[in-house]
Structure 1
Amino acid sequence: MNKLEMTEKIMVAKAEKQLTWEKMGKALGCSHVWLTSVCLGMNSAPKDTAFSLTEYLGLEDDVAHALMVYPTKVWDQAVPTDPLIYRLYEVVGVYGETLKEVIQEKFGDGIMSAIDFSMDVDKIEDPKGDRVLLTLNGKFLPYKSW
């Protein structure tokens, strides 16, 4: 089973059981954002998490095995060469679909504004190496029906 087939099975089971990523994350004892990324095929799951998830959703072992496979993280875009910009681009490439899924689950069908938007960058000192904290704060803009 490939990652696309795995994701399709998970999404069908999630919808049939009327689950949210947050509820699934709590039930499995992990971050719902990380779990979303795993289920969308952009990260791999450890064996125990993979089998716990498939048991929770009532799915076959082949789904658990696909969850454990290391993904190839590719997207069809030109990649910037500046190292810092590249890493931000990588974050969106790897977690973009995850963010979209989680945001739309919480807010509905729409987008985060980049016009009514603020961003903050903080440094968090850490003995293992300083950390970068990015805060992106955009107004939610729902799509309108007409």
Structure 2
Amino acid sequence: MAHNAISAPAIEVDDARRSAGLSWQKLADHIDRPLVWTVAALLGSHPVPREQAEAVRDLLSLSEETTTALQRQPYRVADSDLASDPTIYRFLELINVYGPAFKALIHEEFGDGIMSAINCNISFDRRSDPGGDRVVVTIDGKFLPYQW
């Protein structure tokens, strides 16, 4: 199965969400899940548990095919086409510039190990600033020490 940046189920979900005039936050609240997880899941990056998939289906009048697709275990592979999107490119640039510093700081503070991308919480906020509104992304990941 090929991975696409925007799958047919993701398009159906987003189109229905927009038609209903609902924000991603409203969907997250409706299924009682964190905002960033909800958006990632409904765009195809996480399997959505049946109860939540059915709640989204009922709220957005989604097809049964899409409801089933939301519950499927996704393929989590790199999509080189995503790197050309300006917003996603900036996150890649951030990791390219600050990744070595993050690694050094994690090792200094915690020892030899990594920050989990599986066991983490991610929050997204907007903060007003006189110089222009700020995007605030917080990643709270579990430290996993290397086991030798």
Q: Structure 1 length as normaliser, TM-score? A: 0.54
Residue number in structure 2 paired with 1:17: 20
Q: Which runs of 5+ in 1 are unaligned?
A: 114-118, 123-130, 133-146
Q: Structure 2 length as normaliser, TM-score? A: 0.53
1:39 to 34, 42, 45: 42
Letter in 1 for 2:27: M
The share of aligned pairs that are identical, in percent, is 17
In 2: Cα distance, 1:24 partner to 1:45 partner: 13
1:73 paired with 2:76, answer: yes
Q: Secondary structure at the match of 1:84?
A: strand
Residue number in structure 2 paired with 1:138: none
For the 8 Å contact 1:51–1:61, the answer to whether it is kept is no
For the 8 Å contact 1:50–1:64, the answer to whether it is kept is yes
1:29 paired with 2:35, answer: no
* Cα distance change of structure 1 residues 121 and 6 upon mapping to structure 2, 3 Å threshold: closer
* Cα distance change of structure 1 residues 84 and 58 upon mapping to structure 2, 3 Å threshold: same
RMSD between superposed Cα atoms in Å: 3.9
Residue number in structure 1 paired with 2:62: 59
* Cα distance change of structure 1 residues 111 and 47 upon mapping to structure 2, 3 Å threshold: same
Q: Which runs of 5+ in 2 are unaligned?
A: 81-102, 104-112, 128-132, 144-148
Question: What is the deviation of 1:71?
Answer: 0.3
Q: Secondary structure at the match of 1:65?
A: helix
For the 8 Å contact 1:6–1:67, the answer to whether it is kept is yes
In 2: Cα distance, 1:54 partner to 1:120 partner: 29
